[in-house]
Structure 1
Amino acid sequence: MTLSTAVPATLPDLDAAAEHARGFLTALGVDCDAPGLQRSPLRMAKAYLEMLSSDPFSMTTFPNDEDYAELVIVRSIPVRSLCEHHLLPFTGVAHVGYLPGERILGLSKFARVVEEFTHRPQTQERLTRQIVDRLDAALDARGVGAVIEAEHSCMTLRGVRAPGATTRTSAFTGALAEPAGRADFLAALAD
């Protein structure tokens, strides 16, 4: 299974993943034969498969028959991804929006696009840019923006161990990349 793409090149092999998880845990000194741990390698394999898989979807857009021209933002979309450097989770929220052009987006597709790119090893910076670029290409909008706020367990549970520290990234295109558009977008998040 290629972990860097949303659609695996081959079907997942949970038995092989569980076997490798057992070897990994054993190499770290975990007794996988102890009560309560016997099925842990399989559970670990299933958990990572879930975190690395997303459902395919169609980008549903509609004609902007009403000529709606104001900012559309969907706030607090859950973000759950894996840091590509440590393969530990980072979690938070994404705020995604756009200035409509000739097409408008089905509202559930905001969360679907976020999910599409979070279900793979990621950096938060790349994730933010991928969401904006995907929506920009699909909508031909006057501008697209995203702000992600997340806590990285690779920073909170290990290394510096700074619980509560969050990272905020943003990306903007078109009119939302201009100072006034960016200010409007960020002000809408402050409400």
Structure 2
Amino acid sequence: MTIGPGTAGAAAPDPLEDLARQLLTEIGEDPDREGLRDTPARYARWWREFTGYDPGTIDTLFETTSSGQMVVVSDIKVWSLCEHHLLPFNCSLTIAYRSAKQLLGLSKFARIAHQHAHRLQVQERLVSGIADDVMSITEAPDVAVIGQGEHLCMTMRGIRTVGLMTSTSFHGVFAEDSSARSELLSLVR
């Protein structure tokens, strides 16, 4: 079999790059013009980087010195993608729990949050999934996650105005006891 010129060792076409080229063409751009020539490859790399994100170890635990202590980690910033429009949204998260037997390592809160953010998402599922993981890893029933996000699907299209959406996931004492919930909310303010 004879291999034609330019085909020996040629890499298989990248479907994500092909999609990016097609998108550029469909919106009236020339994917071969200066400035856009490498855009399809950058687009493909970004999607793979975003969806292939590895948060590292998320379950480092330490023995607690006092059970029932409220631990609050605030202002964790994440970016995600709205599954309805494939547009980004940023979210500031507060994660709280009352320690039972073990304490979760501080950086693990952010790792858990980023693990959930690096997929097509809605904010309500983002905060709920984070709460579920913190409960599962720490075995603490008292967990709360508050997310406040700006969604570019609202800011850049449709109504085209900035608005912050707040969603919560309260479990255990945070769901059942208004004084515990009030204590948390006063700490977050």
If the length of structure 2 is used for normalisation, what is the TM-score?
Answer: 0.88
Q: Secondary structure at the match of 1:136?
A: helix
Distance 1:14 1:167, change over 3 A: farther
Aligned-pair CA distance for 1:142: 4.1
2:62 corresponds to: 62
Compute the displacement of 1:16 (Å). 2.2
Amino acid aligned to 2:61: T
Quote the sequence identity (%): 37
Task: Please give the alpha-carbon distance, in whole angstroms, between the structure 1 residues aligned to 2:84 and 2:15.
Answer: 23
Q: List gaps (5 residues or longer) in structure 1.
A: 1-12
* Amino acid aligned to 1:116: Q
CA contact (8 A) 1:81 1:91 kept: yes
1:105-124 correspondence to structure 2 within 5 Å:
105-124=104-123
Q: 1:23-172 maps to which residues of 2 (within 5 A)?
A: 23-55=22-54, 56-64=56-64, 66-163=65-162, 165-172=163-170
SS in 2 for 1:161: coil
Rg comparison, structure with higher value:
2
CA contact (8 A) 1:60 1:109 kept: yes
CA–CA separation in structure 2 for the residues paired with 1:155 and 1:46: 26
State the distance in 1 between where 2:120 and 2:90 align: 13
- TM-fit CA distance, 1:53: 2.5
- Partners of 2:58 and 2:112 within 8 A in 1: no
Report the Cα distance in structure 2 between the residues aligned to 1:144 and 1:60, rounded to whole angstroms: 17
1:68 Cα deviation after fit = 4.1
Aligned mates of 1:144, 1:58 — CA distance in 2? 16
User: Does structure 1 retain, via aligned residues, the 8 Å contact 2:89–2:151?
Assistant: yes
Aligned partner of 1:176 in structure 2 is 174
May I ask how many residue pairs the two structures share in their alignment? 176
Report deviation, 1:184.
Answer: 1.4
Gaps of 5+ in 2: 1-11
Distance across 2 between alignment mates of 1:160 and 1:49: 31
How far off its partner does 1:151 sit? 0.5
